[in-house]
Amino acid sequence: MNAFTRKNIVKAGLGVVASGALVFSLAACSMDDAGSSSSSSSSSSASSEPSAAATPLASLPDLSKGVDTEVTVDGSFVDALTSLGLTPGVVGSATFDSATGTFAFPITGGNVDYYDPASDVRPYVQGEIDHDGSGLSLTGGGKVVELSDFRIDPGASKLYGTVTVDGTVAAEDAYLFNLWGGSLKPLQTDGDNAILEGTTVHISPDAASLLNTTFGTTAVQDELLVGVAKITVATK
């Protein structure tokens, strides 16, 4: 755990990958306002739906081509886990690189549409990025908590998932993390992949409460920084 370090940014590609990369870049830019993230509805599907006449300016209709969302863990999160005696692990197809302190969760599906911000469509970034069959586990005090099947809602700047405690599902589509885009780096491309790096991942109030209750502590703080995300999406 003490070997966790930030992962170096991958090299920039050779240009923007048409509308797919463009919409993904714009989707991530909607994550800039932490305040609006906290007050958003639980899902963009609960927000205003686009009118029949509304047409997205750009769209990624199928994200099932991959590739993954990586999170390089922050030292403060490592310290928090250590103080609680918790050991992190991976679930399903997730991987962990101990040399860089990076978790990777394969993207399995989803879609993103970007509407004109000047229109009446809200949120103007809609859709989801799915990570079925992978996740993160926390083990300690004789208990195992698994957070899995992540779903990123770019319109609400939130991440949802399934919570399992000792093998029993405790919550489905639970609000787990906030995503803040204030430190987002410019879009990069690598072949047909669009790469976005710099969004920070924070523990949600719901997840903080659940973890504190499960492990009998008050040490898990709302908005605790987990790490920095890099999302790589295959656009073709």
User: Where do the structural domains in the chain lie, given as residue ranges?
Assistant: 18-48+55-234
Distance CA 113, CA 56 (A): 6
pTM over 0.85: no
Going by C-beta distance under 8 Å and a sequence separation of 6 or more, which residues neighbour residue 140? 84, 85, 86, 87, 215
| pLDDT tens-place values along the chain, 236 residues long | 333 333 332 322 222 333 444 454 545 545 454 444 444 444 544 444 555 568 988 888 899 998 999 999 999 999 989 988 999 999 999 999 999 999 999 999 999 888 888 889 988 889 999 999 999 999 999 999 999 999 999 889 999 999 999 999 999 999 999 999 888 888 888 998 989 899 999 999 999 999 999 999 988 999 999 999 999 999 88
Strand partners, 89: 137
